[in-house]
Homo-oligomer: A and B are copies of this chain.
Amino acid sequence: MSWLAGQGTDEESDSLGVDWVLHYEFGELDQATATTDFRTLIADLHEAGLRVQVRHGHGQSLLVCIRVPRDHLGQMIHKSRIKDWLFGITHTLPNGDENTTAVADTPSEEIRSIYHAVTWQKKLGGAGITPNHGQWKNVTASFPLHDQDASSKLLRQWSRKTVLTTQDLDTIRALFGEKVAFYYAFIHCYSLFLVVPAVLGIFGWLYLGPYSIFYGCALCVWCVVFVEFWKIRESDLSLRWNVKGVGRLKVNRPQYVWEKEVKDPITGQVNHVFPGWKQFLRQILLIPFASIACVALGGLICATFAAETFISEVYRGPFKGYLEFLPTVLFSLSLPAITSFLTGIATRLTDYENYRTQDLYDLAQTQKTFVMNFITSFLPTILTAYVYVPFAKSIVPHLDMLRWFGNSDTTTAHHDFEVDTSRFQQEVIYLSMTAQVFGFCEEIVLPYVKHVLWQKWRNYRDRRAGLTRQRSFSKATDLLLIDPAGEASFLKRLRSEADADEYEVEEDILEMCVQFGYLALFGVAWPLVPLGFLLNNWLELRGDFFKLTLECQRPPPIRADSIGPCLLGLDFLAWMGTLSTAAIVHLYRGPMAEVRLSSLLLTVFVAEQAYLALRFVAATAMQKIFSDTLRREEARRYAVRKSFYEASVSHHEQPTSPEGRVRQRVRFHERVNVYSSDSNPSPDGSPSPTPEEPHDDLLRGSDREAEFWAGPSDAADAGVKMIRALSANKADDPNRPKEA
């Protein structure tokens, strides 16, 4: 697989009609369990009506390639559309009866139905494969293949232009689903908004200097307006993408425990109910959790801060140059342990809160992550701004513990200790410049290098393992373990994608929220902060897309109608930012010694009232000005009902929605144009038989594709043979775990 965009050959980017891939690792199982498990897996997939081919992966693992027969897929898509309509997500009833097969409008719609076919519970018509969970904990990855052509084209396009368009967002949505598209919409909207404070900031830097009242006020207003605008924009996009309120049609999580089954008196549906008040009581546990996280992380940060201050300001002993870094190093080393401990508690809490859908579960988990992130990101700077600089003069001498140990000569200098008031500003400059660059490298460049090297190492090891194996096995088994020439590059890509990380869109959203938080909370200290962020975000957007398409597995195209709990976080940060900006301006504008507590409190109090009033006005104004969005939604509902009414009055023969007859269905060639300017669709791009065509859809794929799927007819047997071959090889595998 080529990891450089645009260099993929045609052969390599052909996915041979593989819709979905499962990665089955059996290194830790004995051979008998591994074969039984694997046979069950294949049987379940067959039972759900899916076609299966097996190839071996890196080390002791198998790659299960899944293809959903096109007529089955078409039916699933149709059913999914009917469901959307029933739940009021879309307003046009699709034509057709129960056996209609539909053509997907976008790749993501198609992949979503494939995802459902693989993961949904059996009673819902899926194969019930939940990777890393319960029965399937040895299925370590479950993913669709990337569309390399489209991704690399998009990336090349973006590198040439400054501003994304709504069409670009539509393309992201078409490729990766709404949840991912919302992240790109958010970073795009946020970056465009950043232009205003960036320009103001340049002006402020030239003429006003830091801690300017005017710039502070402008920044607060900007924050509030941005958050309110984004709410409208989000709602607008969710209507554009037909996902408004999509949360309610999602299926139950397998882990969901309900208390009673209630048959709805109106619809006759059976609902699995867990009482809302019980869930709320359990959610209240968030408060002790947040407290514990505050104490644990806050304590750690405070201790580090104190030790660092002590060493740099008071300590005059030997090794000062090295000792200064010690607290930060210790902090960095212990942070992952504490964070993972807290995340463990958070996960158990979220499990206990017992959410019905995966969406709600993720939302609750992200909330908790947000709390932890908030503490680790903002607390150090808050300590500098509100504790170190104002109070260091009275606190630092108390830190001088060494004197109690009689070691007074090391601390002689503390009497002429002077607080470095510019330290706060330096930290802000660091946060907005250096930290952003470091973050980018850590997030995108490092993992990429790591992944490439790791792949090279695994390929090398596999080749060596292949050589040892040749001595001990029959020709027939051997053939199974050697990639056919036509598939070699495809399988290389497959193995690489199976080893890649899962893409977590929440992390990227959270990163942007934290950036917004830095700006809102501390931006007034240095007017060029928004400019730095703006430049960073230009790169970040493209870097994140690079990561998504070339470093991570393609995420299942999950639907969402919002950026999720971070929206609440933005509200919180805008509020906090107003208070913080007011306090910083008040504290740092004049000589700090002259600041009185009552006047500071009054400033912050007034700022809070101004914030509340401003938010109210901004929300009202936005709703008034952008009321078109709402009106359009209403008009659409009205149109549906009207046409139905007209049909019903005129005793129409076919009582289907008359809208359906004139509905513009986006055909495949139009769809390709959504994400590619090339008029030549890739060979795997014709997955949609209309009912008139013959049902054996493989005939219509490329020759190589047909060859691939014409492989060993009994996938289970082929897999079991490979398991045996690879297991026998275990002794030679350096990665092989010790067995009990």
Query: Quick check: is A123 within 8 A (CB to CB) of the other chain?
Result: no
- For residue A96, give the distance in angstroms from its CB to the closest CB of chain B: 9
Asked, given contacts A266-B632, A280-B624, whether A648 binds B657 with beta carbons under 8 Å apart, the answer is: yes
Neighbouring B residues of A652 by C-beta, 8 Å: 655
Residue contact B280 to A634, C-beta cutoff 8 Å: no
Asked, given contacts A266-B639, A267-B639, A635-B264, whether A621 binds B280 with beta carbons under 8 Å apart, the answer is: yes
Query: Quick check: is A386 within 8 A (CB to CB) of the other chain?
Result: no
Query: Quick check: is A735 within 8 A (CB to CB) of the other chain?
Result: no
Residue contact A641 to B88, C-beta cutoff 8 Å: yes
Residue contact A648 to B655, C-beta cutoff 8 Å: yes
Taken residue by residue from 626 to 647, chain A's Cβ proximity to chain B (1 for < 8 Å, 0 otherwise) reads as 1110001011111101101101
- Chain B: which residue is nearest A627 at the CB level? B276
CA distance A641 to B93 in the complex (A): 9
Contact of A624 among B85, B277, B624, B636 (CB under 8 A): B277
Query: Quick check: is A656 within 8 A (CB to CB) of the other chain?
Result: yes
- Chain B: which residue is nearest A264 at the CB level? B635
Interface members, chain A 69-98 (any B CB < 8 Å)? 82, 85-88, 93, 97-98
Residue contact A267 to B642, C-beta cutoff 8 Å: yes
- Chain B: which residue is nearest A82 at the CB level? B645
Query: Quick check: is A573 within 8 A (CB to CB) of the other chain?
Result: no
CA distance A637 to B642 in the complex (A): 16
Neighbouring B residues of A598 by C-beta, 8 Å: 596-598, 601
- Chain B: which residue is nearest A596 at the CB level? B598
- For residue A390, give the distance in angstroms from its CB to the closest CB of chain B: 16
- For residue A726, give the distance in angstroms from its CB to the closest CB of chain B: 50
CA distance A598 to B276 in the complex (A): 42
Segment among A124-132, A452-460, A602-610 that sits at the interface with chain B: A602-610
Neighbouring B residues of A86 by C-beta, 8 Å: 638, 641-642, 645
Neighbouring B residues of A620 by C-beta, 8 Å: 280
CA distance A642 to B82 in the complex (A): 9
- For residue A659, give the distance in angstroms from its CB to the closest CB of chain B: 10
Copies of this chain in the oligomer: 2
Asked, given contacts A98-B649, A267-B635, whether A85 binds B641 with beta carbons under 8 Å apart, the answer is: yes
Neighbouring B residues of A589 by C-beta, 8 Å: none
Neighbouring B residues of A267 by C-beta, 8 Å: 635, 638-639, 642
Query: Quick check: is A423 within 8 A (CB to CB) of the other chain?
Result: no
Residue contact A651 to B641, C-beta cutoff 8 Å: no
- Chain B: which residue is nearest A623 at the CB level? B276
Taken residue by residue from 276 to 290, chain A's Cβ proximity to chain B (1 for < 8 Å, 0 otherwise) reads as 110110010000000
- Chain B: which residue is nearest A265 at the CB level? B635
Query: Quick check: is A654 within 8 A (CB to CB) of the other chain?
Result: yes
Taken residue by residue from 258 to 276, chain A's Cβ proximity to chain B (1 for < 8 Å, 0 otherwise) reads as 0000001011110000001
Query: Quick check: is A248 within 8 A (CB to CB) of the other chain?
Result: yes
Residue contact B637 to A88, C-beta cutoff 8 Å: yes
Query: Quick check: is A625 within 8 A (CB to CB) of the other chain?
Result: yes
Taken residue by residue from 584 to 604, chain A's Cβ proximity to chain B (1 for < 8 Å, 0 otherwise) reads as 000000000000111001101
Taken residue by residue from 645 to 684, chain A's Cβ proximity to chain B (1 for < 8 Å, 0 otherwise) reads as 1011101101111000000000000000000000000000
Neighbouring B residues of A608 by C-beta, 8 Å: 605, 608
- Chain B: which residue is nearest A620 at the CB level? B280
Asked, given contacts A624-B276, A639-B266, whether A645 binds B85 with beta carbons under 8 Å apart, the answer is: yes
Contact of A647 among B268, B627, B655 (CB under 8 A): B655
- For residue A589, give the distance in angstroms from its CB to the closest CB of chain B: 19
Residue contact A638 to B87, C-beta cutoff 8 Å: yes
- Chain B: which residue is nearest A628 at the CB level? B276
Contact of A655 among B277, B602, B655 (CB under 8 A): B655
Neighbouring B residues of A98 by C-beta, 8 Å: 649
Neighbouring B residues of A626 by C-beta, 8 Å: 276
CA distance A655 to B651 in the complex (A): 7
CA distance A626 to B277 in the complex (A): 8
Residue contact B248 to A634, C-beta cutoff 8 Å: yes
- For residue A56, give the distance in angstroms from its CB to the closest CB of chain B: 46
Neighbouring B residues of A87 by C-beta, 8 Å: 634, 638, 641
- For residue A691, give the distance in angstroms from its CB to the closest CB of chain B: 17
- For residue A508, give the distance in angstroms from its CB to the closest CB of chain B: 26
CA distance A647 to B269 in the complex (A): 17
Residue contact B625 to A277, C-beta cutoff 8 Å: yes
- Chain B: which residue is nearest A98 at the CB level? B649
- For residue A481, give the distance in angstroms from its CB to the closest CB of chain B: 51
CA distance A647 to B98 in the complex (A): 13
Interface members, chain A 182-211 (any B CB < 8 Å)? none
Contact of A602 among B82, B601, B628, B642 (CB under 8 A): B601
CA distance A605 to B634 in the complex (A): 42
Taken residue by residue from 22 to 50, chain A's Cβ proximity to chain B (1 for < 8 Å, 0 otherwise) reads as 00000000000000000000000000000
CA distance A202 to B644 in the complex (A): 60
CA distance A418 to B116 in the complex (A): 80
CA distance A100 to B583 in the complex (A): 69
CA distance A657 to B269 in the complex (A): 19
CA distance A740 to B491 in the complex (A): 102
CA distance A656 to B277 in the complex (A): 40
What would 27 A/B residue contacts be, using CB atoms closer than 8 Å? A85-B641, A85-B645, A86-B638, A86-B642, A86-B645, A87-B641, A88-B638, A88-B641, A93-B645, A93-B648, A98-B649, A266-B639, A276-B624, A276-B626, A276-B628, A280-B620, A280-B621, A280-B624, A575-B612, A598-B601, A601-B601, A601-B602, A604-B605, A605-B608, A608-B608, A648-B654, A652-B655
Q: A277-B625, A279-B624, A596-B598 are known; give 5 further A-B pairs, CB within 8 A.
A: A267-B635, A267-B642, A277-B624, A651-B655, A655-B655
In the A-B complex, list the 6 residue pairs whose CB atoms are closest, starting with the nearest.
A655-B655, A598-B598, A601-B601, A276-B624, A280-B624, A267-B639
